[in-house]
Structure 1
Amino acid sequence: MDEKFIDAGTPTRRAYLKSGSALLAGGLLTGCTGQSGSESETESADATTTAKETETEAAATETTAEDTGYSVSMSPVGEVAFESIPEDVMVYSLLYADMAVAFGHGDAVNSLGFDSDAGGRTLDAYYDRLDGVSFDREGLAQLNNGSSDISVDKELLYELDSDLHLMDPALAVSFDGWEQSDIEEVGEQIAPWFGNVYSRAHSTPPEPYAENYEYYTLWELTEKVGAVFQAEARAAELKAVRDDLVETIQSNLPPEDERPTVGVVIFMSDTFYPSKVNVDGFATSHIRPLGVQDAFAADDVTYETSYDYETMLEIDPDVLLHSFCVASYYDVNDIEQTLAEHPVGGELSAVKNGRVYPSGNPVQGPIMNLFQLEMTAKQLFPEQFGEWPEYEGGAYPEIPEDEQLFDRQRVADIVAGN
């Protein structure tokens, strides 16, 4: 599916802005990496000291920024200058809403893109497991007009009168009715653009952005948006949580020949739409680190590929992960029942063995990524990381504290700025 369906540099008038773990039984890392308790405690103390030093430096940087302004650079927008932290922000893609919340500025978001309600529900599902973290989506403008021709009304951007358009201009220029002159007009007359979404799958953006477009990891994007909100310390701390989580997972994976084949799909109208796992882009950053065998690794698999039941049975992945199933567009239980009742679908190994699981949103921000990494590890490797509980929709399931793969309170404290 196209980027606009999936969420989906010169100073301007508003470029100078007006306003200013708990681990499994006995501990996975301690038991499997040979670290003693004292070594772990020393490293933890060192990390705490480093974090405090980083926060002190960040605070000094923010004070200076309030006095003198600052700038942040990212492809394809180049360098964008800020007088102070933006207080009213247009957001299209869900990953940037998640970043705003992560940096303590969720209340600055004034809009969401393709479906503000579904996207908001997904964020709620994860934030419900973090004390004090929430996202108020009431009253948010829905940017997409909902027609078959995916677009955004330029006049709505004038009405929002944002301090910043936290959106990739290369995505905006792909919309129906938009030209490069519209991108320049909005940037000059309202506020600058700042976003990069084609890093999602390293797909080619439209002209005139294609030639020099740069791709970033999710955590490189997080760092850059953190700089926009003058929250570099929070970005670094969240990445440290993610790095610990990935290390926990990768140090406990079974040998490659014992790992399941995995198919990531969207299922609609008796048709399977597959996605590759082991490819670049932040869309797979919750699955790729697990090193699984990709059931759809063939070169001819693109977002336009579709399979019927018979073709899926020929491929027959050990596990099926269905995207957009965490408080979003699809109900994995209904899908599993539909497959089980079909004469061919019921023969799929994943269906017969009860291994059809809800997967998350590929347009994921940093907090979403932490939960989606944990979720996928449990779904694919229950013996190593604990069973994934039955999911009935709504909030992310309660995981017993001794089976959580990252520290919820640590994340909540980071978001709170503690």
Structure 2
Amino acid sequence: MSDDTDRTTEAPTRRDALKYGGTLAAGVALAGCSDLAEQSGGDETASSESYSVTMAPMGEVSFDSPPEGIFTRLTHHAGMAFALGRGNDVNAMHAPEYYDKLWNQFTPRLPGVTLDWTGLYSSWDPSKEMLYDLDSDVHLADPASVNALDSWNAEDVEEIDETVSPWFGNKYSDRHDEPPSNWADRYEYYGLWEMFEKVAAVFREEERYEALAEIHTSLLDTIETDLPPKQERPTVVMAGMSDIESMYAYTLDTPGFLTAHVRPLGPIGALGDGVSSGDMIDMEVLLEADPDVLFSLGGMHPDTDLSGIRSALRNHSAGSKLSAVRNERVYPQGARYQGPILNLFQLEMTAKQLYPDVFGEWPAYTEGPYPEIPEGEQLFDRQAVAEIITGDR
């Protein structure tokens, strides 16, 4: 990170008002970062209202006011903005049309909550020029994961940080994957709700976070109290099943927030040690695992033909032998990169799918939004969640 004297632009930039505390540059191995962290009184745009939030791999990030325009790549960050009542301030995300449809499978169960991500910039591999055009107040994206893209290098990442606005995100906590080597000594892993707490602090929405975290904790307490003993729990495989001959599978014992809705429920992973999370498996491997329950990732998306997946499994020579298929326990899931609101719904959904005798049966779902569940069988309060999102509580 170069300090202000090294900038090529003469006019003040947004970065003059939103500045890092000094560890991003060390993460990308650029020189001169230590001076900036000491310039607490040298920036004329700084005010007594400034505040900072610390999260790896960025380090300490300082803000003069809560950000407005929000750039994201992955939907766990966009989902955090949504939970804080800022979903419609998101200006970019990966596959916005797809995820707008998926998130809006859940909003009908949240009275008064609306969300529109259609038409946003699709930012899986964003162009640096577009980030200038978007002129966001914060980039809720992991700079290490952006640096890992072939189209970006460390200098590009630092340039956006310096001249547009800070990065604030963490991706590799998804499966505790290794970050790029030039970020490794700065990296830490967080749980989904740990990360959400830090994002909430960026927007000065600590009270919203605390209110949602209380609901989340209560839900986990309900699950833990009534969880059957290990010997009574089903074996499970979770996979993307748009092509049943070649499926991406995610192991349940792998740490990270991709399984934040499954791990608290303690099912037994059916896949052997030879399969790593994110590996592609075929029907032979699935039959060898023979799970009691089969989770279809993305099965709740309106463009997913869940009935077709179930039918294809029943009509397949190997698939028809699966215990999950014979016992009609092929269930839909939502998103891997879930934010806190989807995490609440998916914890409830998965609890009912795994342990219907304990938490109430999951409806015979084939399509449409998240099903109506009688109030007495709901594991968390929808109205309370909706009021937190809209600011009415």
| Cα distance per residue 1:270-301 (max 9 Å; x no partner) | 123321112211111100000111112x3322
Q: Distance in 2 between matches of 1:231 and 1:15?
A: 22
Aligned ranges 1:87-236 → 2 under 5 Å: 87-113=68-94, 115-144=95-124, 151-236=125-210
Q: Distance in 1 between matches of 2:209 and 2:17?
A: 22
Q: Distance in 1 between matches of 2:3 and 2:110?
A: 38
- Report the CA distance between 1:72 and its aligned residue: 0.8
Structure 2 partner of 1:340: 314
The answer to whether the 8 Å contact 2:172/2:179 transfers is yes
Structure 1 partner of 2:14: 14
Structure 1 partner of 2:218: 244
TM-score scaled by length of structure 2: 0.86
239, 262, 265: which one aligns with 1:290: 265
SS of the residue 1:273 aligns to: strand
Flag the 1:82–1:304 CA change in 2: closer, same or farther, 3 A.
closer
Q: Distance in 2 between matches of 1:142 and 1:343?
A: 39
Structure 2 partner of 1:68: 49
The answer to whether the 8 Å contact 1:264/1:322 transfers is yes
Q: Distance in 1 between matches of 2:196 and 2:269?
A: 27
The answer to whether the 8 Å contact 1:187/1:193 transfers is yes
- Report the CA distance between 1:189 and its aligned residue: 1.4
Q: Distance in 2 between matches of 1:138 and 1:307?
A: 33
SS of the residue 1:199 aligns to: coil
- Report the CA distance between 1:207 and its aligned residue: 2.7
Aligned ranges 1:303-342 → 2 under 5 Å: 303=277, 305-327=279-301, 330-342=304-316
SS of the residue 1:165 aligns to: strand
SS of the residue 1:86 aligns to: coil
Q: Is the aligned partner of 1:380 residue 2:354?
A: yes
Counterpart residue identity of residue 302, structure 1: S
| Cα distance per residue 1:1-24 (max 9 Å; x no partner) | xxxxxxxx8998424558xxxxxx
| Cα distance per residue 1:184-232 (max 9 Å; x no partner) | 1111111110100111110001131122200001111010000011000
Gaps of 5+ in 1: 1-8, 19-64, 145-150
Aligned ranges 1:5-44 → 2 under 5 Å: 13-15=13-15, 17=17
Structure 2 partner of 1:47: none
Flag the 1:210–1:328 CA change in 2: closer, same or farther, 3 A.
farther
Flag the 1:107–1:273 CA change in 2: closer, same or farther, 3 A.
closer
Structure 1 partner of 2:35: none
Structure 2 partner of 1:273: 248
The answer to whether the 8 Å contact 1:16/1:82 transfers is no
| Cα distance per residue 1:374-402 (max 9 Å; x no partner) | 00000000111111112233311111111
Flag the 1:88–1:10 CA change in 2: closer, same or farther, 3 A.
farther
Structure 1 partner of 2:32: none
SS of the residue 2:106 aligns to: helix
Q: Distance in 2 between matches of 1:272 and 1:351?
A: 16
Q: Distance in 2 between matches of 1:340 and 1:397?
A: 24
TM-score scaled by length of structure 1: 0.81
Structure 2 partner of 1:399: 373
Compare 325-334 and 217-226 and name the one that shifted more.
Answer: 325-334
Structure 2 partner of 1:412: 386
Q: Distance in 2 between matches of 1:357 and 1:85?
A: 40
Structure 2 partner of 1:390: 364
Q: Distance in 1 between matches of 2:296 and 2:364?
A: 15
- Report the CA distance between 1:107 and its aligned residue: 2.5
SS of the residue 2:247 aligns to: strand
Q: Distance in 2 between matches of 1:10 and 1:405?
A: 51
- Report the CA distance between 1:66 and its aligned residue: 8.5
Q: Distance in 2 between matches of 1:378 and 1:122?
A: 20
SS of the residue 2:150 aligns to: coil
Q: Is the aligned partner of 1:350 residue 2:324?
A: yes
The answer to whether the 8 Å contact 1:173/1:179 transfers is yes
The answer to whether the 8 Å contact 1:74/1:224 transfers is yes
Structure 2 partner of 1:80: 61
